[in-house]
Amino acid sequence: MRNKSANHGLAVLILAAGQGTRMESSQPKVLLSVGGYPMLYFLLRQANALKPQAIGLVVGHKGDVVREEVQQNIKKWGVVRPLTFVQQKQTLGSGHAVMESSSFLKKFQSVLVYCGDTPLLTFETLFSLLKLHQEQKSQITLLTAKLPNPKGYGRILRSPMGDVLKIVEDAEANSKELAVSEVNSGVYCFETAALLEVLKSLTPKGIKREYYLTDAVELVRSKGGRVTAYLSPNPEEILGVNSKIQLSQVERIFNRRGLERLMLSGVTIVDPTHTYVDADVEIGQDSVLQPGTILRGQTKIGKQCQIGPFVYLENALISNESEVRMGSCVVDSRVLEKSSVGPFANLRPGSVVGPRARVGNFTEIKASKIGFGSKVPHLSYVGDADIAEEVNIGAGTITCNFDGTEKHKTVVGPKVFIGSNVNLVAPVRIGRGAKIGAGSTITEDVPEDSLAIARSRQVIKSFNHKKK
């Protein structure tokens, strides 16, 4: 059925089959992480946003790994356009990758092709390129950019009139061509029929005997076709990742983009050069990030929160007016309104703290709930526990949740007071309003409103000091 919102007749083809030799990595290049996601996530997300009729993804080197990663995450990544995998059996170059996709491509009038290693491309640029392609009725519209250091990229050769004549690859270029600063971004919009026609004439080139997609430009022109270039207003977005050095450069740009987006929406970032955020982190107005803050994954922070310095949050939810102080770590956990965590606290996965609760210094919480107004202020380990509201847990209290084979639960009722240095040997329940004496080792349930003391009595003995 024809989807009215789709860009009818348009396909997007992402080339992701290359080995990425220069990355020196055992992982496929397109799965290496930037901005907290595999590179491919950003390319698929942009493709989806353009609403093509279909997306093609060419996989080859470790194709099964790439395919599995994409299939597992496609829903989570919000990609809803139909996706077709194309297997490139031998990776014989970008031109060959497109040739191998011909049975997918021939169903569409136009195709937007881009590489799997340019994750900084923005929707706005891709959209403008498509628009220009449609307006100019060209057979090829290229995205180009002027770079101060064009090394490694294909160079755009133009006629004296400014028409694009051909692309020459870095490895093939002579010294005059190498001096050209306008480069090929690896993003092209093609009229499919013209593309498929010239692909037949590609010949392998270079030491690796590869078929270059870039040769399509000269071939289309030689058949009287029209080639247009769109010079990117923002050259940094075409950066390709071909080495770990470029990976770090792209990571830095993602980070800067994320920080700017947050600052523009009202977040105070004390030192952006020492603050790191993944692409999809969300933060409310008037929250403050102190230096050394690292926010990973799907972390969401509410309004008027104080975070840092030196705090690590991963898939954390921090609600309004909470603080996570110096040296703390929160992973896959939630800190609800007006709560305070740290300094030097560790919230491990599955923990919920608050509202108005406090987890203090040198305290580890794992898969536990610390209820409304409850406090675990110092030197405790709370694991697999359900702590109700207004509980006070003394310094050095430990839930002994592991019997060597299995984990067990500790349940603490409302308004319980636990003295310092208590061991709660799970499974165990402490009833509402109970009090536990300091230094106790609690092995049995404690009823409501009672006092439990489980420690040996103090004994005082006098010494007989013998005189020599």
Per CB under 6 A, residues contacting ligand UD1 are 15-18, 58, 60, 88, 91-94, 96-97, 115-118, 153-154, 167, 169, 183-186, 212-214, 240, 242
List 69, 117, 169, 321, residue binding Mg ion (CB under 5 A): 117
Say if CB 327 and CB 343 are below 8 A apart. Answer: yes
Element (H, E) at 11: strand 7-16
**Helices marked H in 74-122 — which ranges?**
94-99, 102-105
**From the list Mg ion, ligand UD1, none, which binds 92 (C-beta under 5 to 8 Å, kind-based)?**
ligand UD1
Between 16 and 335, whose beta carbon lies closer to ligand UD1?
Answer: 16
List 94, 101, 139, 242, residue binding Mg ion (CB under 5 A): 242
Element (H, E) at 400: strand 398-400
DSSP state of 64: H
Least distance (Å) between residue 158 CB and Mg ion: 22
Amino acid letter for position 84 = T
Marked catalytic residue, from 61, 274, 378, 408: 378
Residue 94 touching Mg ion (CB under 5 A) = no
Between 239 and 436, whose beta carbon lies closer to ligand UD1?
Answer: 239
Between 51 and 61, whose beta carbon lies closer to ligand UD1?
Answer: 61
Between 243 and 304, whose beta carbon lies closer to ligand UD1?
Answer: 243
Whole-angstrom CA distances from 214 to 168, 196, 239 are: 8, 13, 17
Count residues contacting Mg ion (CB under 5 A)? 3
Residue 154 touching Mg ion (CB under 5 A) = no
Least distance (Å) between residue 48 CB and ligand UD1: 18
> Segment near Mg ion (CB under 5 A), from 47-55, 240-248, 363-371, 408-416?
240-248
What would the x/- binding string for Mg ion be over residues 193 to 222, using CB under 5 A?
------------------------------
Between 108 and 153, whose beta carbon lies closer to ligand UD1?
Answer: 153
Whole-angstrom CA distances from 353 to 19, 322, 378 are: 46, 10, 15
For the segment 257-316, give every residue that binds Mg ion (CB under 5 A): none
Between 125 and 346, whose beta carbon lies closer to ligand UD1?
Answer: 125
Active-site annotation holds for 274: no
**From the list ligand UD1, Mg ion, none, which binds 440 (C-beta under 5 to 8 Å, kind-based)?**
none
Cα-flanking dihedrals φ and ψ of residue 292, to 5°?
80, 10
3-class SS letters over 122-152 = CHHHHHHHHHHHHHHCCCEEEEEEECCCCCC
Residue 240 touching Mg ion (CB under 5 A) = yes
Name the nearest CA neighbour of 178 among 206, 207, 152, 216.
Answer: 152
Whole-angstrom CA distances from 310 to 3, 321, 344, 350, 394 are: 49, 19, 10, 22, 26
| Torsion, CA 210, CA 216, CA 219, CA 224, rounded to 10 | 180
> Segment near Mg ion (CB under 5 A), from 28-36, 110-118, 135-143, 333-341?
110-118
Least distance (Å) between residue 243 CB and ligand UD1: 10
Place of tokens 């929406």: 265
Active-site residues, by number, are 378
Q: Which residues bind Mg ion (CB under 5 A)?
A: 117, 240, 242
